[in-house]
Structure 1
Amino acid sequence: MNEHESSTLKKNRIFTVLIGIVLVLIGWNVRLFWIQVASATHLTDRGIDLVENSVVQREQGIVLDSGRGDFVDRNGVSLTGKTMRVLTAFPIETDPSGAAEREASLARAAKVLGVPERQLTVFLDSLTAPQIWTVDGRAAALTEDQAQRLDALGLPDLRVTTYKERYDRRQPAAQVIGYIGQNPERITKQFTDQFHKGELQLTSKIGNAGLEKTFEPWLRGIGATSVSLFTDAARRPLPGLDIRTVTPGNPYYPLKIVTTLDRKLQERIEGKLEQWAIRDGAVVVMDIENADVIAMASRPSFQPEHVDMANEAGWGNRALKAETPGSIFKTVTAAAAMDEHVVKPGETFHCDGELGKFGFTCWKKEGHGTLTLEEGFAQSCNIVFAEVAQRLGGERLERYAQSLGLTNRVGWLGDTSAAAGFRQLDGEEAGQVYAASTDRKDAGALVQTAIGQRDVLLTPLQAANLVVTLFHGGQVLSPRVVQEVRFRNERLYERFDSRHAADAEAFPSIHQATAKTMLGWMTQVVDHGTGSALQAAKWPVAGKSGTAQVQLAGGKPGENHWFIGYGPADHPKYAVAVLIRHVPAGTKNKSILLFQEAMDILAEADQ
C-alpha cells in the first residue's frame, strides 16, 4: 500500500467515527426530548404547571426603593425619602425537621418586635409574596439593636433590609410637595415618548400634584432597588443564590430637589395651625430679600399616601388659591392714592359710620370721627377708603393692583432644561380686582372694591409677596420654592435663580417713596391701630389686618380673616401672610394671633 492510499484510508476512518458520534448525540437529544414531553404530560395531568413553577423557581422579590428623586430643605434636611431598617418576610417552605428550633426562633423574633408570637406566625403563614412587616399599615422602622438581634436569629424567611419610605407619617409641607399615584391618562398624553419607549407603564406612579407633579421630569429615576429570594419549585431557597439585592448603582441618579423651605420652621408653623385648631387656611413665610418661600403651610391637612384619587379635584394648596382679601387690599388703594396725589398732605376725612349712599357702612358702626388717610389705614376705616377710591376711579385702582403683582400668577416662571415657560408651583391661581362683567365706572362697585370686597381676589402667596414688593420699592419679585437640582453625588444639575415676576415690566411700578411710606404706615397699625395686640411679639412687627365678608355653604354669612406684614420692623427679614378662611361671621379673629406665633417662631430661630 502506497503512502497516498494509507492517507485516504485514515481520513475515511475519521469521517466514519465522526458520523457515529453525531448519530449518538442525535439519539441522546431525541431521548431527552421524549423524557421532557412525557414528564411534562405526566406533571400536567397531576395539576403541576411547569411554566408557573419555573417563575417561582427563578425569584420572588420586593421593591425597597423606587429610585425616584427626593426633596430636601434649604439646609439639606430631608423632606421625603426617609431611609430605615425594616423586616422583610419571604414566603418559603421551611425544613420540617427543624420545626422546634424554628418555633423557638420565631418566639424570640416576636419578642424583639414586641408582638405576640401568634401575630408573627399568622403573618408568615398568610404570605403569598414577599412583604415588609408593618404597623398600622406602614413599614415598621427597626432600631439598630432590633435589626442586629433579628439578623442573628438566622431565619431563612426573615431578613433585615433597608427600605426608603417616601412620605413621613406626619409629612411636612404636604400640600407643597403634593403626591404621586397612577394616572394612565396623563402618561399617554404628557409622557407619550417615555410610554412608547417602555420607560413608563400605564401602572407607573407619577407626580399628580404639587412639586411632585411640576418636577416630574427631574424626579423620575433610572431603576428601582429590589431584594429577591431565589427558590426552587417547592419554595425552598436555592443554595448559592439565596437573597440578592439588585440596584442601578448609578453615582449620579436619582436627582435631588433642593427647596427653599426650612423644615424646622415649616413643622413649627404647622404645629401652631394644629394648636389653634385652624381647619381651613394658610400661612406663607417669605425671605424679604429675594422672595424665597421659607414656609408654606395649608389647611385642611392631608396625608400624601392616602389621597382620595376619586376626589382629586377637591385637593389644593390654600396658599395658592385666590380668596376675598378684605381690608389688606386697602394697602393697594392707599398706595394708588399717594402715587396719584389724589389726597393732599394732612387732609382729613370724617367717618360717622355710613357713607350716605350705596348702603355702604364702616365696620365701626359709631364711626371713627375725623382722621387722616394714614390714620384711616391704621384704623382700617371703610369710609375714608371709599371716598379716596371715588377720586381714583376703578381703572386706575385696577392698574395699581396689576403693578403690585396682584392680578397674575407670581410664582417662579422661566425656561429650564425640561421645558420652556416652566412654572414651579402647581395650581397657583391669579388674583383679580374686577370680574370681566363688572363695569369699572360703577361707583357702587368701586367703593366695595377699594376695601377688598366685591370681585377682589388674592392668594396668600400674592399677599406675602405684596409686602416683599413694597420692600423692593415697588419691584415685583417672583417667589420660588425650589432653588436647584443636584445629582446624587451633589454636583449641580440645574439652578433656578431669583428673578422678577414674568410680567413685571408690563405695568409701571409705584414710586419708591410711596412703597417706603406704606411700610411705615404698617408700623402704625401695630402701634395704635387694629394690630395693636402684636405689641406683645418677641420682636417689633408691622402689618395690615383684613376681615372679608363671604358666603358659606348654605348661604350663611361668613368671614375670611387676614393679616399680612413683616418683621423685625426695624430690620425687615421676613414677610408673612396669614389667612383663616370661611369662618362663621362674628368668630374671633385668630389671624393676628397666628401672625404673632409665626413671627415669634422666626424670632427664636434668628437668635
Structure 2
Amino acid sequence: MHNMRQQRRIWFGLLAITVVMAALIGRLGWIQVIDAGSFSRREIDLIGNSVAQREYGIELDSGRGHFVDRSGRPLTGEQVKALVVFPVKRTEEENEAALNGIPSILGADREVWREFYSRPAVPKMWSDPVTGQPVPLSDGQINRIAKLPVPGLEVMHTVRRYPADAVAKHLIGFIGENPERIGALYAKQLSRGSLSLSSRIGAAGLEKTMETYLQGAGKTSVSLFTDGLNRPLAGLDVRLIRPNNPYYPLQIGTTIDRDVQEGVERILEKAGIASGSAVVLDADNADVIAMASRPDFDPYRIVSGDASWGNKALKAVTPGSVFKTVVAAAALEEGVVQPGETFECSGSFGKYGLKCWLHGGHGTLTFEEAYAQSCNVVFAKVMQRLSGAKLQETAQRLGLELQVGWHTEGKGASGWSQFDGEERGQIFDGRKPSEDEGIRVQTAIGQRDVLVSPLQAANLVVTLLHGGEVQSPRVVRDIRFRTGAIVQSFPERNAEVLADGISKRTADKVTSWMRQVVLSGTGTPLKQAKWNVAGKSGTAQTTAAGQAAVHQWFVGYGPIERPKYAVAVVALNEPENGANRAIRAFREIMDLLERQ
C-alpha cells in the first residue's frame, strides 16, 4: 500500500512537471511566433530588439526626390555601382587576396585600402576620401572583383545625389544639415520620425525652394545581421530594406535643357569669365532654358565663408548702358524726343563729371544712333527732359525693381519663389525716385544706384519681344509621382507689375534699335554670329579689391526674323581695358542655340 501511494505521488509529480513544461513551451512558442513583435503590456518587440543589436546598415538611396530636365533627363540622382565590404569571418588567405588584389582593381593607394579594409567593424562602402561619395565601378572592375575568392565583398547599386558631370549646380543648389531650420519648419515630420535634426535638407537653390516636395517616404538600405560572434545569421545575413511606396520619390520637372546648360557652362569657362553668369530664356514664354554662374563649386564640399555657390544670375549688380534700354523706352513713351531730332556729343556733358566713352565725342547723331553707339552725353541730355518718377515707373512696367521669377505673393512662409534668393534690384537708392539732376543723369547711363540681375535683364528682352507684356520666368514646370501622375503644375504666367506695361509701338521700336547696335554700334563683333542677332552692350564702372574694374554686359535676342531665345551675359570685375568677354560669350551662346 505504501509503495502504491509513493508511486501515485511520483506519477502526479511527473504529470505536474509535464503540464508546467507544456505551458512554458507553449508560452515561449507564442512569444517567438505570434507575439514577438509586441511582448508584454509594454509592447516590447523581442525580434526587433535582438536583431537591432546585431544589425549594421549602409544607406543606398536617401529616398529624396530628383530633378530632371525638360526632356526627362536626370539632373540629380546618378545610379552607380559601388563596392561594399561586410564584416564577415575570412581566412588568412582570403584576407591576403583582398589586400593584394583590390587596390590594383580600384586604382587605389594600397595603404589607404588596407586602412579601409582592415577595420570592418560595420559594413562600409568604398568612397572618395575627399567628397565621401561612393566611387563608381566599371563593368571591368566588377568582373575582376567577382573573380576574387573573398567573401563579404559585394557590388551594390547606390545613388550619388550629384553626378560627376553635374550641370546647373548653382540653380539646383545643395543639401546639408540645418537643425534650426528643421526644428522651425518641419515639426510634424520630426514628430512622426520622417525627419531628424541631423537630416540633410535643402540648403540652397531648388533643393531649398522645393524641399517640401523632395522629402521622400524613407531610405533604401542594405543591412547585415550577425550573431554575437559576428557570424551572419542564417536567412537574415544580408537584407535590402526599402520603402514600399509606389508614389515616392517625387520627380521635379524643370524647364532646363541639359545640352544647352552644359554648353553655356562650357562657353563661360572658355571665355575666361571667372565671375559672372549667363541666362537663356525661351522668347515665347520666358522659361529658363539655361542658367549658369561662375565661379564653379562642389556641392559636396561647402566651405564656410566661400560664397562661390551663390547664383550670380539672381544677384543684382550695376548694369551700365544696358539700362539705356529703359531710358529709351521711357523717353519714347513720354514723347520727350521728337522724330528725327539730333543731338550733339562733344565728349563731355559739361557737369557732374559725366563724359562719353568715346574720346572727342560722337558729334551729331539721332536718338536711335545714340542708343546704338551707347552715347552717354545724349542720354544725359534726354534724361534732363524726364523726371525720376517717370523713369522709375517705366522701369517697373518693364519688370525691374521686382521679384520677376515665378513666385507666390505673401510675407514670410506665405510667400514662395522657385528661385532661391532672387534679388529685386533698384533704380534709386531707398527706392524713392530722385529729381536731383545730377543723380538722374548718372542713373540714365546705368550707374549711380541702379542694380539689375541677369534674370531681370534677359526677361526685359522677352518683355520687349512681347510688346511690353512682362512675363514671369519659371524653372520648374511640374511635380510628378513615380507613376507619372502630376502632383502639381506651375503654369506660364505674367508678372504682377505695378501698372500696365509699355506700348507695343515703343517695344517694337526699341527691339529694332537693338538690331542697329549689332549692325553699326557697339555690338558689331556679333555680325559674325551664325544667326542675325540683336542686343545692347553695357560697361559698368565698379571697383574690385580696391582697383578700378568694370562689369561687362550684353543682352539680346535671336534670330531677329523669328526670335526664339533671349540671352543675358555678364562678366563681373573685369579689367577696365580688357577684352570684352561678355560679347564673346553671347555670340558663342547664340551659335550654340542655332545648332539646337
* Common topology (TM > 0.5): yes
The 3 A distance-change label for structure 1 pair 597 and 524 is same
Q: Which residue does 2:365 correspond to in 1? A: 371
- Distance (Å, rounded) in 2 between the aligned partners of 1:114 and 1:321: 42
- Distance (Å, rounded) in 2 between the aligned partners of 1:142 and 1:85: 6
**Local SS of the residue matching 1:477:** coil
Q: Which residue does 1:512 correspond to in 2? A: 504
Task: State whether residues 272 and 581 of structure 2, in contact with CA within 8 Å, keep that contact through their aligned partners in structure 1.
Answer: no
- Distance (Å, rounded) in 1 between the aligned partners of 2:10 and 2:94: 65
Task: State whether residues 411 and 478 of structure 1, in contact with CA within 8 Å, keep that contact through their aligned partners in structure 2.
Answer: yes
Q: Which residue does 2:125 correspond to in 1? A: 132
Q: Which residue does 2:320 correspond to in 1? A: 326
> Do residues 577 (structure 1) and 535 (structure 2) align?
no
How far the C-alpha of 1:483 sits from its partner, in A, is: 0.4
Task: State whether residues 315 and 453 of structure 2, in contact with CA within 8 Å, keep that contact through their aligned partners in structure 1.
Answer: yes
Q: Which residue does 2:33 correspond to in 1? A: none
**One of 137, 146, 152 as aligned partner of 1:142:** 137
**Local SS of the residue matching 2:384:** helix
Q: Which residue does 1:546 correspond to in 2? A: 538
For 1:272-327, what per-residue CA distance to the aligned partner results, in whole angstroms no more than 9, with x for missing partners? 2222221110000000000000000001211111112x337774110000000000
Task: State whether residues 51 and 225 of structure 2, in contact with CA within 8 Å, keep that contact through their aligned partners in structure 1.
Answer: no
- Distance (Å, rounded) in 1 between the aligned partners of 2:112 and 2:376: 67
> Do residues 77 (structure 1) and 68 (structure 2) align?
no
**Local SS of the residue matching 2:350:** coil
Q: Which residue does 2:552 correspond to in 1? A: 561
Task: State whether residues 400 and 424 of structure 2, in contact with CA within 8 Å, keep that contact through their aligned partners in structure 1.
Answer: yes
For 1:2-22, what per-residue CA distance to the aligned partner results, in whole angstroms no more than 9, with x for missing partners? xxxxxxxxxx99998764445
How far the C-alpha of 1:27 sits from its partner, in A, is: 10
Structure 1 stretch displaced more, 320-329 or 161-170: 161-170
The 3 A distance-change label for structure 1 pair 55 and 384 is same
- Distance (Å, rounded) in 1 between the aligned partners of 2:198 and 2:394: 49
Structure 1 stretch displaced more, 365-374 or 238-247: 238-247
Task: State whether residues 282 and 299 of structure 1, in contact with CA within 8 Å, keep that contact through their aligned partners in structure 2.
Answer: yes
For 1:491-543, what per-residue CA distance to the aligned partner results, in whole angstroms no more than 9, with x for missing partners? 21111101001x22x21211101101111100100001000000111111100
**Local SS of the residue matching 2:428:** coil
Q: Which residue does 1:489 correspond to in 2? A: 483
**One of 421, 430, 434 as aligned partner of 1:440:** 434
Runs of 5+ in structure 1 lacking a partner?
Answer: 1-11, 30-52
Q: Which residue does 2:594 correspond to in 1? A: 603
The 3 A distance-change label for structure 1 pair 492 and 394 is same
- Distance (Å, rounded) in 2 between the aligned partners of 1:449 and 1:367: 20
- Distance (Å, rounded) in 2 between the aligned partners of 1:311 and 1:63: 30
**Local SS of the residue matching 2:198:** coil
How far the C-alpha of 1:585 sits from its partner, in A, is: 2.4
Q: Which residue does 1:257 correspond to in 2? A: 252
Q: Which residue does 1:357 correspond to in 2? A: 351
Q: Which residue does 1:407 correspond to in 2? A: 401
How far the C-alpha of 1:56 sits from its partner, in A, is: 7.7
How far the C-alpha of 1:192 sits from its partner, in A, is: 1.9
**Local SS of the residue matching 1:426:** coil
Task: State whether residues 170 and 303 of structure 1, in contact with CA within 8 Å, keep that contact through their aligned partners in structure 2.
Answer: no
The 3 A distance-change label for structure 1 pair 28 and 218 is closer
> Do residues 89 (structure 1) and 80 (structure 2) align?
no
Task: State whether residues 65 and 250 of structure 2, in contact with CA within 8 Å, keep that contact through their aligned partners in structure 1.
Answer: yes
The 3 A distance-change label for structure 1 pair 346 and 106 is same
Amino acid aligned to 2:326? V
Q: Which residue does 2:469 correspond to in 1? A: 475
**One of 195, 200, 212 as aligned partner of 1:217:** 212
Q: Which residue does 1:536 correspond to in 2? A: 528
Higher helix residue share: 1
> Do residues 455 (structure 1) and 449 (structure 2) align?
yes
How far the C-alpha of 1:176 sits from its partner, in A, is: 0.4
Structure 1 stretch displaced more, 360-369 or 14-23: 14-23
How far the C-alpha of 1:193 sits from its partner, in A, is: 2.0
The 3 A distance-change label for structure 1 pair 358 and 109 is closer
How far the C-alpha of 1:558 sits from its partner, in A, is: 1.5
- Distance (Å, rounded) in 2 between the aligned partners of 1:511 and 1:103: 80
> Do residues 592 (structure 1) and 587 (structure 2) align?
no
The 3 A distance-change label for structure 1 pair 571 and 273 is same
How far the C-alpha of 1:247 sits from its partner, in A, is: 0.7
- Distance (Å, rounded) in 2 between the aligned partners of 1:597 and 1:334: 28
Q: Which residue does 1:49 correspond to in 2? A: none
**One of 277, 286, 300 as aligned partner of 1:291:** 286
Task: State whether residues 403 and 509 of structure 1, in contact with CA within 8 Å, keep that contact through their aligned partners in structure 2.
Answer: yes
> Do residues 423 (structure 1) and 417 (structure 2) align?
yes
The 3 A distance-change label for structure 1 pair 252 and 152 is farther
- Distance (Å, rounded) in 2 between the aligned partners of 1:289 and 1:296: 17
**Local SS of the residue matching 1:202:** coil
> Do residues 240 (structure 1) and 235 (structure 2) align?
yes
- Distance (Å, rounded) in 2 between the aligned partners of 1:437 and 1:273: 33
- Distance (Å, rounded) in 1 between the aligned partners of 2:18 and 2:489: 70
How far the C-alpha of 1:415 sits from its partner, in A, is: 8.2
- Distance (Å, rounded) in 2 between the aligned partners of 1:428 and 1:439: 23
For 1:169-205, what per-residue CA distance to the aligned partner results, in whole angstroms no more than 9, with x for missing partners? 3421111001000000101111122222322111000
Amino acid aligned to 1:599? M
The 3 A distance-change label for structure 1 pair 471 and 14 is farther
Where do residues 29-178 of structure 1 align in structure 2 (5 Å cutoff)?
Answer: 58-94=54-90, 96=91, 99-100=92-93, 103-104=96-97, 107-115=100-108, 120-135=113-128, 137=130, 138-153=133-148, 155-178=150-173
How far the C-alpha of 1:445 sits from its partner, in A, is: 0.3
The 3 A distance-change label for structure 1 pair 541 and 244 is same
RMSD (CA atoms): 2.6
> Do residues 268 (structure 1) and 263 (structure 2) align?
yes
- Distance (Å, rounded) in 2 between the aligned partners of 1:196 and 1:116: 45
- Distance (Å, rounded) in 2 between the aligned partners of 1:233 and 1:17: 37
For this pair of structures, how many residues does the alignment match? Answer: 563
For 1:360-387, what per-residue CA distance to the aligned partner results, in whole angstroms no more than 9, with x for missing partners? 1111121000000000000000111111
Instruction: Report % sequence identity.
Output: 50
- Distance (Å, rounded) in 2 between the aligned partners of 1:358 and 1:414: 42
The 3 A distance-change label for structure 1 pair 212 and 101 is closer
- Distance (Å, rounded) in 1 between the aligned partners of 2:255 and 2:110: 47
TM-score by length of 2: 0.89
- Distance (Å, rounded) in 1 between the aligned partners of 2:11 and 2:113: 68
- Distance (Å, rounded) in 2 between the aligned partners of 1:14 and 1:293: 91
- Distance (Å, rounded) in 2 between the aligned partners of 1:449 and 1:23: 98
- Distance (Å, rounded) in 2 between the aligned partners of 1:81 and 1:245: 19
The 3 A distance-change label for structure 1 pair 177 and 264 is same
The 3 A distance-change label for structure 1 pair 321 and 13 is same
- Distance (Å, rounded) in 2 between the aligned partners of 1:337 and 1:439: 16
Task: State whether residues 557 and 567 of structure 2, in contact with CA within 8 Å, keep that contact through their aligned partners in structure 1.
Answer: yes
Amino acid aligned to 1:444? G
How far the C-alpha of 1:242 sits from its partner, in A, is: 1.9
- Distance (Å, rounded) in 2 between the aligned partners of 1:154 and 1:83: 27
- Distance (Å, rounded) in 1 between the aligned partners of 2:323 and 2:80: 48
Task: State whether residues 563 and 577 of structure 1, in contact with CA within 8 Å, keep that contact through their aligned partners in structure 2.
Answer: yes
Task: State whether residues 89 and 124 of structure 1, in contact with CA within 8 Å, keep that contact through their aligned partners in structure 2.
Answer: yes
